[in-house]
Structure 1
């Protein structure tokens, strides 16, 4: 089943910020934000054990477990098992060091074997207080976490997580599975396999208004050939497109800040919100099934919904193309 058949709308909610990404947020703010998403009609929610060592799942579950289970679509991820013991060492998250230092103090086992996959799902169900997940993503088997050892982790997942999730899908326990990564190469490698075959993928930060050239070269044509959909995570490029200072989960370097400034100058010139430009750009590619921006304040949800429905003039896109700020290969809204 394709992701477009499963997902209830084009705007979902990504919960990485609810795991205290970058900073600690109060429980009441997290709850109010999820409730705001629900009240605004959002019915697709994505989470992961990795987000604050289970904290995001717990916070999301406190709201969703009280809603009718058939009324929303829920995805989580495998690759991390949260242990019932305190973390005594500084966690090694590769390029993402310090990302969830304000999360739960639990030890996290990074493993993509068959056994760990089943344990991960069981733990997620328990933390969230729900009886099932619709979609499960294989999380972070990519260079940004593992460097040159990423192919080793990929092979562990191929013989472990991939097979378990394929079986669970075939048994009707889950509706779909795929990869949830911040790099294109693991998805390209997966799509080249004869089996098992994913139903789609969650690509974070690699098909955004700010950063999309690489994905357009190989990955997205391959996905279209195989009729595999994607969910776009991090459509605001870790927040730098929405007024934040982070890109790729770190402080944005000067060249990124300069490019964002150019994009915003065109947006101001045409009276366009940068959020509208970002969301509508990511959604225009025919492979995109949904975007899942994250938030930690209720007001941000209303902004995202408004951005989705905002009218963006074709001249804005034409100017971006002429300035070299969007790839010639990128499909643009209204065929601009």
Structure 2
């Protein structure tokens, strides 16, 4: 798997917070966060035009300017195009609501066609200030998977974005492509199609300590069979796993908070951090090629790096399984 060698089980940087996710982040703080990631050895950066209507890409491009391009890997996404036109109207972002209400006011439109894919990549290259993008994810193609409009969106992507990205990969313009979604079903559907040959997909929030059953049982076996690398996004489940108020872009429900409390109590008993457990759990699956927590403060970068390097006793993982806090078949960073 070429992507596996490219990422090599990396701790990457998820750039959604740079688009002013949930709050208005000062410019100097955003740039300092990317610099902290670089100084901590992070060399994989994931982005998307959707993040603040291009704001995250602009900030990342500025922060990485002057860094040797051959020393880092960039992925971004297609499916949404950022226009020069300013749009002050309320935006319908589905389940993601007003997550980026503090982003740029530019109008963002959905377009999963071949032409839209090429336009999106061109815009990202300009904002990122780079000559190439390594991996491209088709973004939120099934965001409302059980709604009425997802099938038409997916079909447009099948005829447009998938074919365009297959060709760009075969021509060597990009190094790999797949989906960037928070729905396991979308990647399953892609793998069942004849024709497209994805290399990697980004699955956000669906292979975490708080939510992994469907991905584990349905997607991961297919991913291994098809040699599809999985990048795990949102390993902290929108912050809920590490004490934040949100799960899936909305206030966490009582059952989620109860599970968080149980994991935290077990981690405290073994003297380890929940962050360490979350990151190392995700990376333990052989299909996972990288995990990309988001960060909006430099201090969070240091925490993530320390969490990845933290030594977790085998007894913690055994207790986690014994208490039913992980699926019994989930690979753990121990030898059973």
Cα distance 1:113–1:146, how it changes in 2: closer, same or farther (>3 A)?
farther
1:247 equivalent to 2:247? Answer: yes
Cα distance in 2 for residues equivalent to 1:217 and 1:332: 15
SS at match of 1:25: coil
1:193 equivalent to 2:193? Answer: yes
CA RMSD between the two structures: 1.2
* Residue correspondence of structure 1 range 32-181 to structure 2 within 5 A: 32-144=32-144, 147-181=147-181
TM-score, normalization: structure 2? 0.98
Tell me which moved more, 149-158 or 70-79.
149-158
1:202 equivalent to 2:239? Answer: no
Cα distance 1:329–1:273, how it changes in 2: closer, same or farther (>3 A)?
same
Unaligned regions of 5+ residues in structure 1, if any?
Answer: none
Q: 1:151 deviation in Å? A: 1.6
Following TM superposition, the consecutive aligned residue runs of length 4 or more in structure 1 with deviations greater than 6 angstroms are none
Q: 1:333 deviation in Å? A: 0.8
Cα distance in 2 for residues equivalent to 1:113 and 1:107: 18
Q: 1:257 deviation in Å? A: 0.8
* Residue correspondence of structure 1 range 253-292 to structure 2 within 5 A: 253-292=253-292
SS at match of 2:144: helix
Cα distance in 2 for residues equivalent to 1:207 and 1:146: 20
Q: 1:143 deviation in Å? A: 3.8
Are the aligned partners of 2:12 and 2:292 in contact in 1 as well (CA < 8 Å)?
yes
SS at match of 1:144: coil
* Residue correspondence of structure 1 range 205-216 to structure 2 within 5 A: 205-216=205-216
1:29 equivalent to 2:38? Answer: no
Q: 1:83 deviation in Å? A: 0.3
SS at match of 1:124: helix
Cα distance in 2 for residues equivalent to 1:94 and 1:34: 29
Q: Structure 1, residues 34-78: CA drift from partner, whole Å, max 9, x if none?
A: 000000000000000000000000010001122111110000000
Are the aligned partners of 1:8 and 1:43 in contact in 2 as well (CA < 8 Å)?
no
TM-score, normalization: structure 1? 0.98
Cα distance 1:146–1:92, how it changes in 2: closer, same or farther (>3 A)?
farther
Q: Structure 1, residues 90-138: CA drift from partner, whole Å, max 9, x if none?
A: 1111111111000000000111001111110011111111111000000
Unaligned regions of 5+ residues in structure 2, if any?
Answer: none
Cα distance in 2 for residues equivalent to 1:143 and 1:72: 29
Q: 1:8 deviation in Å? A: 5.4
Cα distance in 1 for residues equivalent to 2:309 and 2:39: 17
Q: Which residue of 2 aligns with 1:4?
A: 4
SS at match of 1:238: coil
Q: Structure 1, residues 131-181: CA drift from partner, whole Å, max 9, x if none?
A: 110000000011437823212111110100011111111111101001000
1:222 equivalent to 2:225? Answer: no
Q: Which residue of 2 aligns with 1:235?
A: 235
SS at match of 1:147: coil
* Residues paired across the two proteins, number: 336
SS at match of 1:334: coil
